[in-house]
């Protein structure tokens, strides 16, 4: 911009008549040796035929110096011939950097850590930085007495420099002993165990030593020693400087227990709302960590009702003789803050209302930090948003703050193809098209084709998340599925064909509670395969009424969902119950009621490691004198129930009316991009069973048919832009004693979609 303004000014001024000596006839650079002239000229605005200005030339000189190649620069304008000259003094050009005398550290390591680099221009500050860095590297290896000398030489003819580092490593020094003065509450061994960065017979590392001191102080402060301090530390060496002794001087002071706990100054919150955040009670040992957690909890309680400017100071009344400390939380609530205007920026293809309807806080509401956080989660849960950045925007009113949400849109749609192999479905190929933001209205459409040796699946779904701009969703689905099914413990017994569709309306009662009401109709055909096992074929023929092949049913469900991110939750839980009521009165051929209850929990542990639990119970019952069709029974084992077993190889061989499954997974990130986990690993444990009658239910784990079966394994989760892929390997721990078809102890699974 500076160049453009100066150039414009010079060009405009050229229309005015000046003396010939004021016009620049040429620009020359004097003193160049290793810098290309065109690189310097590109930084200079003053050009031939421009009017000379000393102010502009001074700006040019400053710009040339900012290139970083020169130690000094002068400029001169010759009024006689109109030549503008810049006389430069180049910094030496580093041609070579050599390290000599180094045995413990490689040249490659030293060059990598050097602030000075070959083919760059010399900087004295970087030389000192390199000397310090090399000394630190040697000290971390135990060579604290290493001597580093530097010999730079410059070839005056071409101004090129060679820098030689001469290293005298001297003797290696390790920690011989660590002593503690004033240590009475604990044995030295306990303190030494906390010091991870300072270990006997290891080199001394200053950074690790500082971290260890903080760890020891934190330990004491969490164990009741409020006034504990490390008052001094010293290092001594043996005669030949091969061993060092570290001495730490402790001042333990008194150990305290919590006495009375109270809070004063609160009005907006009730006492119970304050007390629920207390992480300790009377008689507990004082813990600095628990005090911090309590403060954080109280602050969050206030921020959730708009008191973002509240100040909470804990005061401690100590009684050292009796080891009691009374804690008083002094609260200054300050003024409540309200939300003003809500601004949404960054949208390209998405309509403003799609984002705005996910924001829980409205104009005039108390500015709740909790609602802002939850609004961000809801926006992310749309599935096509890569970033949400909230900002508080001050207004002229002291207690009113506008809120801005800066949105970064992601890719709303993609066509994806994949292929895989599993021991359940053999080879399978898939093609899926999914678009999550149709017409910029947040509408979702999904088309899926799966082709394999044991299944063919064609499916189409469309969802309007806010039908008629009301807080309810509408979903239309159609599908055509063919599968080869196992039965009675044998593989490939019958073909199952399902052709149908459904419509669902899902009103949302609140941010966390939703309902779903729908209707589905499907035509089901079951055909015994020619090569089916004779035993399984006989059981199939006795249990199947192929004339009842139309299923017309009502679908009812309710869910309570607090998950942070529905596509890959790391916290929160989801509880749901659903009913499918199939009836002849709805135009079908069968009468049954299927009930499902599912409870899923997600618990963050450390960093991005997440422990999750999924409990799934289900029951199906026929009515009006009809039995349950065999394709509506529950069959346990496989990718979505208990991994490590084949489909229908757990529990009742002919299908069950009752089932229960518990899945436990521990997920951890492998690769992330844009703060989103793309590749995850998972360890899992599954346990479950199925039974025909209530009296058959057996909660013992074992190898008998009716007992619970368990499996363990690991898997990979790959989050594509549109849908997750799962690769799992499971090992069954309790395979039935009467298994068929030479059951394998382990199974490999490839599938699309999350398990829960």
Which string of DSSP letters, residue by residue, matches 334-397? ----EEEEEEEE--SSS-HHHHHTT----TTSB--HHHHHHHHHHHHTTSSEEEEEEEEEE-SS
Q: What is the pLDDT of residue 14?
A: 41
Instruction: Indicate if 76 and 157 belong to the same structural domain.
Output: no
Q: What is the pLDDT of residue 740?
A: 52
Instruction: Indicate if 75 and 126 belong to the same structural domain.
Output: no
Question: How far apart, in whole angstroms, are the C-alpha atoms of residue 48 and residue 26?
Answer: 5
Instruction: Indicate if 625 and 487 belong to the same structural domain.
Output: yes
Q: What is the pLDDT of residue 17?
A: 39
Strand partners, 87: 30, 74
Residue 422 counted as domain residue: no
Residue 62 counted as domain residue: yes
Instruction: Indicate if 272 and 157 belong to the same structural domain.
Output: no
Q: What is the pLDDT of residue 5?
A: 44
Contact 342, 363 (CB under 8 A): yes
Instruction: Indicate if 78 and 38 belong to the same structural domain.
Output: yes
Q: Residue 446: which residues within 8 A CB-CB, separation 6 or more?
A: 432, 433, 434, 435, 459, 460, 461, 462
Q: What is the pLDDT of residue 7?
A: 46
Final residue of a structural domain among 203, 224, 251: 251
Question: How far apart, in whole angstroms, are the C-alpha atoms of residue 157 and residue 154?
Answer: 9
Domain count, the chain: 6
Instruction: Indicate if 234 and 266 belong to the same structural domain.
Output: no
Looking up tokens 């799609």 gives 354
Final residue of a structural domain among 409, 428, 450: 409
Looking up tokens 């164990």 gives 223
First-residue to last-residue Cα distance in the chain: 55
Residue 520 counted as domain residue: yes
- The two tokens of residue 10 are 């010079």
- Domain carrying residue 37: 2-90
pLDDT digits (tens, 9 = 90+) for 405-421: 999 998 887 766 666 66
Residue 217 counted as domain residue: yes
Query: CA-based Rg of the chain, rounded to a whole angstrom?
Result: 37
Residue 123 counted as domain residue: yes
- The two tokens of residue 551 are 């299923």
Q: What is the pLDDT of residue 15?
A: 39
Question: How far apart, in whole angstroms, are the C-alpha atoms of residue 714 and residue 665?
Answer: 9
Residue 728 counted as domain residue: no
CATH code of the domain covering residue 327: 3.10.20.310
Q: Residue 612: which residues within 8 A CB-CB, separation 6 or more?
A: 569, 600, 601, 602, 603, 663, 664, 665, 666, 667, 756
The residue length of the chain stands at 756
Instruction: Indicate if 393 and 472 belong to the same structural domain.
Output: no
Beta strands 610-622 and 592-604: pairing type?
A: antiparallel
Residue 698 counted as domain residue: no
Query: CB atoms < 10 A from the CB of 184, how many?
Result: 7
Q: What is the pLDDT of residue 294?
A: 96
Instruction: Indicate if 86 and 109 belong to the same structural domain.
Output: no
Instruction: Indicate if 549 and 403 belong to the same structural domain.
Output: no
* Low pLDDT (below 50) residues in the chain: 1-20, 741
Nearest alpha carbon to residue 486 among 614, 324, 655:
655
Instruction: Indicate if 86 and 97 belong to the same structural domain.
Output: no
pLDDT digits (tens, 9 = 90+) for 472-491: 999 999 999 999 988 887 88
The predicted model scores a pTM of 0.72
Largest CA distance in the chain: 116
Instruction: Indicate if 15 and 146 belong to the same structural domain.
Output: no
Instruction: Indicate if 626 and 508 belong to the same structural domain.
Output: yes
Residue 647 counted as domain residue: no
Final residue of a structural domain among 305, 332, 359: 332
Nearest-10 Cα torsion for 538, 541, 544, 546: 150
Question: How far apart, in whole angstroms, are the C-alpha atoms of residue 639 and residue 631?
Answer: 18
CA angle, residues 536, 537, 541, in degrees to nearest 5: 120
Contact 171, 146 (CB under 8 A): no
Question: How far apart, in whole angstroms, are the C-alpha atoms of residue 487 and residue 536?
Answer: 6
The values of phi and psi at residue 595, to 5°, are -120, 135
């Amino acid at each position: 911009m500076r160049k453009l303004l100066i150039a414009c000014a010079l060009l405009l001024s050229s229309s005015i008549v000046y003396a010939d000596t004021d016009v620049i006839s040429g620009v020359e650079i004097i003193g160049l040796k290793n810098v290309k002239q065109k690189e310097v000229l590109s930084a200079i605005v003053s050009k031939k035929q421009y009017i000379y200005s000393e102010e502009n030339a001074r700006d040019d000189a400053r710009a040339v110096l900012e290139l970083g190649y020169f130690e000094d620069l002068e400029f001169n304008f010759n009024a006689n011939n109109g030549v503008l000259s810049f006389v430069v003094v180049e910094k030496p050009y580093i041609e070579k950097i050599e390290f000599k005398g180094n045995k413990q550290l490689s040249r490659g390591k030293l060059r990598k850590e050097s602030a000075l680099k070959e083919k760059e221009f010399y900087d004295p500050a970087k030389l000192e930085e390199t000397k310090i860095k090399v000394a630190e590297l040697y000290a971390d290896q135990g060579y604290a007495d290493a001597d580093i000398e530097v010999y730079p030489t410059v070839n005056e003819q071409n101004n090129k420099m060679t820098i030689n580092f001469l290293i005298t490593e001297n003797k290696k020094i390790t920690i011989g002993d660590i002593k503690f003065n004033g240590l009475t509450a604990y044995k030295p061994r306990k303190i030494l165990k906390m010091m991870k960065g300072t270990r006997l017979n290891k080199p001394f590392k200053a950074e690790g030593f500082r971290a260890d001191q903080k760890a020891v102080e934190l330990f004491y402060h969490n164990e009741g020693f409020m006034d504990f301090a490390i008052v001094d530390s010293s290092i001594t060496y043996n005669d030949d400087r091969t061993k060092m002794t570290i001495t730490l001087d402790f001042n333990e002071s008194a150990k305290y227990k919590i006495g009375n706990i109270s809070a004063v100054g609160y009005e907006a919150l009730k006492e119970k709302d304050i007390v629920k955040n207390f992480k300790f009670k009377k008689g507990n040992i004082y813990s600095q960590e628990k005090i911090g957690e309590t403060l954080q909890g109280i602050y969050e309680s206030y921020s959730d009702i708009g008191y973002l400017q509240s100040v909470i100071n804990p005061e401690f009344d100590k009684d050292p003789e009796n080891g009691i400390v009374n804690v008083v939380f002094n609260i200054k609530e300050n003024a409540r803050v309200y939300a003003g205007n809500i601004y949404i920026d960054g949208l390209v293809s998405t309509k403003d209302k799609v984002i705005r309807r996910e924001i829980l806080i409205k104009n005039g509401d108390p500015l709740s930090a909790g609602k802002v956080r939850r609004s961000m989660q809801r926006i992310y849960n749309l599935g096509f948003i890569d970033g949400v950045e909230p900002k508080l925007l001050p207004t002229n009113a002291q207690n009113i703050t506008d809120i801005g949400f800066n949105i970064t849109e992601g890719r709303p749609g993609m066509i994806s193809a994949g292929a895989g192999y599993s021991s359940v479905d053999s080879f399978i190929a898939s093609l899926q098209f999914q678009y999550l933001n149709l017409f910029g209205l947040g509408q979702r459409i999904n088309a899926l084709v799966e082709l394999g040796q044991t299944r063919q699946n064609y499916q189409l779904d469309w969802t309007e998340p806010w039908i008629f701009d009301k807080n309810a969703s509408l979903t239309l689905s159609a599908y055509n599925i063919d599968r080869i099914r196992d039965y009675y413990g044998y593989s490939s017994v019958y073909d199952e064909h399902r052709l149908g569709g459904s419509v669902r309306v899902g009103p949302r009662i609140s941010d966390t509670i939703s309902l779903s009401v729908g209707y589905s109709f499907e035509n089901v055909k079951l055909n015994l395969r020619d090569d089916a096992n004779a035993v399984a074929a006989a059981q199939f023929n006795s249990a199947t009424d192929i004339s009842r092949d139309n299923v017309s049913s009502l679908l009812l469900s309710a869910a309570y969902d607090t998950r942070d991110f529905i596509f890959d939750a790391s916290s929160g839980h989801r509880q749901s119950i659903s009913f499918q009521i199939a009836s002849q009165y709805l135009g079908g051929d069968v009468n049954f009621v299927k009930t499902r209850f599912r409870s899923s929990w997600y618990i963050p542990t450390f960093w991005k490691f997440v422990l999750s639990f999924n409990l799934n119970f289900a029951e199906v019952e026929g009515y009006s004198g009809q039995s349950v069709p065999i394709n509506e029974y529950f069959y346990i084992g496989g990718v979505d129930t208990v991994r490590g077993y084949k489909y229908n190889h757990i529990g009742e061989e002919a299908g069950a009316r009752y089932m229960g499954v518990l899945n436990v997974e521990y997920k951890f990130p492998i690769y992330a991009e844009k703060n989103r986990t793309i590749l995850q690993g998972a360890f899992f444990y599954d346990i479950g069973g199925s039974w025909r009658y209530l009296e058959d239910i057996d909660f013992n784990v074992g190898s008998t048919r009716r007992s619970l079966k368990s499996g363990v394994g690991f898997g990979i989760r790959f989050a594509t832009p549109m849908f997750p892929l799962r690769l799992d390997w499971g090992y069954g721990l309790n395979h039935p004693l009467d298994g068929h078809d030479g059951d394998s102890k382990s199974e490999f699974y490839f599938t699309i979609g999350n398990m829960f």
